[in-house]
Amino acid sequence: MSIKHCGIDLRIIKDVYNSLFSLSQGLKGIHIPLEKADLSKFIRNGFKVFKFDCLDDVVETIKDEIPGDIFYLDRFESGVIGRKLEIGSPVNSIKDVDWYNLKVGLTYADFLAIDTGSLLLVEDEILTNITSYPEKLYVTVSSSRLLNSFLNSFDIIYNLNRVFENRFLIRIVNAPSRTGDIEKKIVFGAHGPRDVNIFIYNDGIELHHILASYLTLRFYEKEMCIRRYGYTLDHFLNIYKGYKIVME
């Protein structure tokens, strides 16, 4: 039993697949719709936060704001948006970028906890770099990644990491980079981007789609390629639909 061109034996992943979907059903209360989300904590923490009705509005805004090239992490939301940018260059490897001269970067976040105004990132080397080195960082996030509780979000992170055999660390970002160690003054950009823009948009995707996307890429071609290759949101949702049809 396999999906054409994927080489996936669904019997191998059925137990994990079902448990992850059971998890998504149980955690529906953690997700909060964009129209009901109070994003003031992000603003108070120093982020710039913008709401959009659709993905195309995000693309047009980034095009208007950035005069030159932007490097984008070619995964998930940032991969989809980056591919639509005429000024974008994809990042699939740490060798793709001169990190010390990176001016503008585009990435996604795994989840946003609105009660603390925090970004939750399931870490790897490329994601760490593109969220640390640019002077200006854009974080593009589907509204389905909005969670109303920081503590409860760890139920999701815990189960995702279990699926990936505990290979990843979790990084929590509560504010743009700043320090007060220099002449007792607050200095921005000391250890990372000084300017972080969070673009949240509605796209019709739900929490269980997000969870399915991680699982789909976990077993794609029997490799843990969620962090290794640049599969985008539209790519893995198409694979997810294949899973769903076969599983049903």
pLDDT bin (cut points 50, 70, 90) of residue 201 is: very high
pLDDT bin (cut points 50, 70, 90) of residue 118 is: very high
Q: What span, in angstroms and rounded, lies between the C-alpha atoms of 39 and 47?
A: 10
Write the pLDDT tens digit of every residue in 144-196: 889 888 887 777 777 677 666 666 677 888 877 555 555 655 555 456 688 89
Lowest mean pLDDT among 6-10, 13-17, 114-118: 6-10
Tokens matching residue 161: 């990491």
Tokens matching residue 182: 């220099």
71 neighbors 101 (Cβ within 8 angstroms): no
Between 164 and 84, whose confidence is greater?
Answer: 84
Which CATH superfamily includes the segment(s) 10-247? NagB/RpiA/CoA transferase-like (3.40.50.10420)
- Picking from 84, 130, 35, 238, the residue whose alpha carbon sits closest to that of residue 121 is 130
Q: What is the pTM of this model?
A: 0.80
pLDDT score recorded for residue 97: 92
How high is the mean pLDDT of the chain?
75
pLDDT score recorded for residue 224: 40
196 neighbors 134 (Cβ within 8 angstroms): no
- Picking from 44, 173, 29, 164, the residue whose alpha carbon sits closest to that of residue 111 is 173
